[in-house]
Amino acid sequence: MTSSLLFNITTFAYLISMLAFFAFLASRTKTIGTAAMLIAYAGLFAQTVAIGLRWKESYDMGVGHAPLSNLYESVVFFAWTIVLIYALLDIKYKYRVIGAFVMPFALLGMAWAQLGMNTGIEPLVPALQSNWLLYHVITCFLGYAAFAVACGISIMYLIKAVSEETAEQSAGGLIGMFPPIKVLDDLNYRAIMVGFPLLTLGIITGAAWANYAWGTYWSWDPKETWSLIVWFVYAAFLHARITKGWVGKRAAWLSIIGFAATLFCYLGVNLFLSGLHSYGGGGK
């Protein structure tokens, strides 16, 4: 069994899980929802093993390092954290439908990584040879994943809010399956409550690493600046809740904009801007 085979199995599991979630939405059959969730769990398990295996394989090759060193490995890890955060949310709150809005993010990540990227294990360049890499990447990506989940929930919120405004009664069908609007609003806040401290930790560990490696904890390089932009947006989200006129739909939009900024911070900066962070080079 190799890690790359397991990663393919993971991708397939996420695909099936997402389709099952869609079927669950359409059919409102409880067993399908449970099956979708179980397949997602199975995928998460396979991916966990695969990540561990890839870690071991890198040691077998003599270039041992945690599998977090290039764009491929980070996208795979990102997909893993998304499903992990979603699984935790499911265990705690049991709103299955959210899977239909979260699994696509995980599938997209895995499919892109498996099909579009160089999957080879590469040795670590000197700049990345530090334990800080581990702390920094793990905290950042757990934060990003929580924001991805919040974004999915916010999309559901907006769909539900708009349909409730236009329809006279509470709409049936697909949207009837969604959790009540107040619950969605609360879940959105909860996901960001998990993501915000993690992002804060991610920025701080990044600053600590930069200080340790270069002697400056902050140099306004595009990646750093974008992480601060993301942080500002979610800080605005947190304060929106205690400001009149900012609750509800506007807060949901802030959450979606926050995730768009997160994605740009993660991928856009490497693809469109130049700076010190070297992940971009790990792509094709």
Partner 1 sequence: MTTPKKDFLHSLWDFFCSLKLTMFLLIFLALISIIGTVVPQGAIPEEYIAQTTPAKLKLYKTLGFFDMYHSWWFILLLYMLTVNLVACSFKRLPHIWKIITEPVTLFSEGLEKSLTNVASIKSRGETAKLKEEAFAFLKAEFAEPAISEVDGTWHLFAQKTPWCRLSVYFVHLSVIIIFIGSMIGSLFGFKGFVNILEGETASSIMLRSEKEHKLDFSLRLEQFSVSKYATGAPKEFKSILTVLENGKPVPGYENARVIVNDPLTYKGLTFYQSSYGNAGNYFFTVTDLDGKNPVSLTISGESSVTLPDGSSMHVTDSVKDVSAFAGDLSGPAAQVELHTRNGKAESFVVYANHPELNLQHAKNHGTGPVIHYKGSEERMYTGLQVAKDPGVEIVWFGCILMIIGVYAAFFMSHRRIWIRIQDGSVTVGGNASKNQGAFQQYFDGLVERLKSNLDKER
Tell me, by CB under 8 A, how many residues bind partner 1. 44
Minimum separation from the CB atom of position 246 to partner 1 (A): 6
C-beta atoms surrounding 239 within 10 Å: 11
Structural contact between residues 217 and 165, judged by C-beta atoms closer than 8 angstroms: no
- Rg (C-alpha) for the chain, rounded Å, is 19
User: Can you tell me the distance from the alpha carbon of 159 to that of 181, in angstroms, rounded to the nearest whole number?
Assistant: 10
Task: Report in angstroms the alpha-carbon separations of 163 from 133, 160, 181, 251.
Answer: 45, 5, 11, 18
Q: Residue 27, interface with partner 1 (CB under 8 A)?
A: no
Picked from partner 1, ligand HEM, none, the partner binding residue 213 (CB below 5 to 8 A depending on kind) is: partner 1
Q: Which of 183, 108, 107, 102 is CA-nearest to residue 147? A: 102
Q: Residue 130, interface with partner 1 (CB under 8 A)?
A: yes
Among 87, 159, 161, 222, binds partner 1 (CB under 8 A): 222
Picked from ligand HEM, partner 1, none, the partner binding residue 61 (CB below 5 to 8 A depending on kind) is: none
Structural contact between residues 139 and 81, judged by C-beta atoms closer than 8 angstroms: no
C-beta atoms surrounding 13 within 10 Å: 24
Picked from partner 1, ligand HEM, none, the partner binding residue 243 (CB below 5 to 8 A depending on kind) is: partner 1
- Using DSSP's 3-state secondary structure scheme, residue 140 falls into helix
The smaller minimum CB distance to ligand HEM, of residues 164 and 186, is found at: 186
Q: Residue 196, interface with partner 1 (CB under 8 A)?
A: yes
Structural contact between residues 37 and 7, judged by C-beta atoms closer than 8 angstroms: no
Per CB under 6 A, contacts with ligand HEM among 223-282 are 235, 238-239, 241-242
Picked from partner 1, ligand HEM, none, the partner binding residue 236 (CB below 5 to 8 A depending on kind) is: partner 1
Among 38, 118, 239, 276, binds partner 1 (CB under 8 A): 239
User: Can you tell me the distance from the alpha carbon of 62 to that of 118, in angstroms, rounded to the nearest whole number?
Assistant: 19
The smaller minimum CB distance to ligand HEM, of residues 76 and 194, is found at: 194
The smaller minimum CB distance to ligand HEM, of residues 124 and 235, is found at: 235
**Which amino acid, 193?**
M
Picked from partner 1, ligand HEM, none, the partner binding residue 212 (CB below 5 to 8 A depending on kind) is: partner 1
Q: Which residues contact 6 (CB under 8 A, 6 or more apart)?
A: 46, 47, 49, 50, 53
- Summarize as ranges the residues that interact with ligand HEM (CB under 6 A): 235, 238-239, 241-242
- Summarize as ranges the residues that interact with partner 1 (CB under 8 A): 63, 122-123, 125-127, 129-130, 132, 186, 193, 196-197, 200-201, 204, 207-208, 211-218, 220, 222, 225-226, 228-229, 232-233, 235-236, 239-240, 242-243, 246, 261, 269, 273
